[in-house]
Amino acid sequence: MASLARDAALFTNALHRQDYTSWHSQPPPLQPPQAAAEPSDSQPKSKKKRPKANVVYSQPADTGTGTNVNTQLVYAVNHLKSNGNPMRLQDLAIITSTPLDTDKVLLEKFRAHDRVVHDPKTDLYSYRHDYNVRNKAALLTEIQRQTRKGGGLSVRTLKESWKEAPQAVEELEKEGDVYVTRTLKDGQMRMVFWNEIKADEENGGMPVEKEFNDLWHGLTVPNDVDLLKQLASEGLQATAAETLVPKGPTKKKGKKSAPRQRQVRITNTHLKGQIDLSRDYVAPSLK
């Protein structure tokens, strides 16, 4: 019994010394503060929305006047055109960010431009427009001059020369001094012509009364069958339309047709029976 008790005591001591705790029961290792702040792989990550920018990536951005002399010349001339008033060379160089007052090559090309006008008295530069109009009277004079030549004036071109030209054209139209043609889609003014005969009782040219306008626009053109009947009832006849001559088949390029073989007509009938004309003639050999 003593040995049994001793073995039981040794077994109990061995159980107390053995560590049976598994890795599931052990606490997780301590993490640094930065790692603890980051989300784990098991947690779903929230996607950050990118801010939308209204940028058209298919077109290059305007980065300025550049370093090319011709590009800087275009910028300077276009600004002089849009300004509409004479400018100093230094002011134009500052506004357009071009070395117009320091670059000799650029300045020479700018002065030689066919649309740039330089006034040596004031040392100012201005843009030469197609028409030099600045008021309604000068505009009417230019319209009269162009109409006498057989043509009108483009309203768009007049607007480039004088920004208030469309309003002046509308006033002249209401006063009966000009005729204006407009687009069918949106009614925008296209061409302007001078009205040589005004609508007054002395010179004639009074506008047609509304009653006659309504009667004219109320007329309808009959169809082809009814039109022929009405012409026949009046003893008239419809003119014959021009008939188109049909064209023959066109030959395709690149393909050549085989040459056509023509049959030879025998005319030397007096030699029939003596010489076979269907064969090539071979002269007899002389001995």
* Vertex 283 angle, CA 279 and 287, to 5°: 145
The better pLDDT of the pair 243, 273 is held by 273
According to the model, what pLDDT value does residue 256 have?
A: 63
| Average pLDDT, integer, range 93-107 | 89
Task: Report d(CA 118, CA 157) in Å as an integer.
Answer: 22
Q: 136 or 67: whose pLDDT is higher?
A: 136
DSSP 54: -
Residue 3: helix, strand or coil by DSSP?
helix
Q: What architecture is domain 136-194?
A: Orthogonal Bundle (1.10)
For the chain, domain boundaries: 69-127, 136-194
Give the pLDDT of residue 23. Answer: 47
Model-level pTM greater than 0.75?
no
The CATH number of the domain covering residues in 69-127: 1.10.10
Cβ burial 104-119 (10 Å sphere, 16+ → b, else e): eebbebbeebeebeee
Cα separation, 166 vs 153, in Å, equals: 12
Q: What six digits make up the tokens of 187?
A: 């009614």
Distance of CA 107 to the CA centre of its chain: 33
Whether 140 shows a pLDDT value over 70: the answer reads yes
pLDDT tens digit sequence for 141-159: 999 998 888 888 899 988 8
For the residues 210-228, what does the mean pLDDT come to? 86
Mean pLDDT, residues 110-133 taken together: 88
Residue 83: pLDDT band (50, 70, 90) is confident
Percent of the chain at pLDDT exceeding 90: 15
pLDDT at 195 over 50: yes
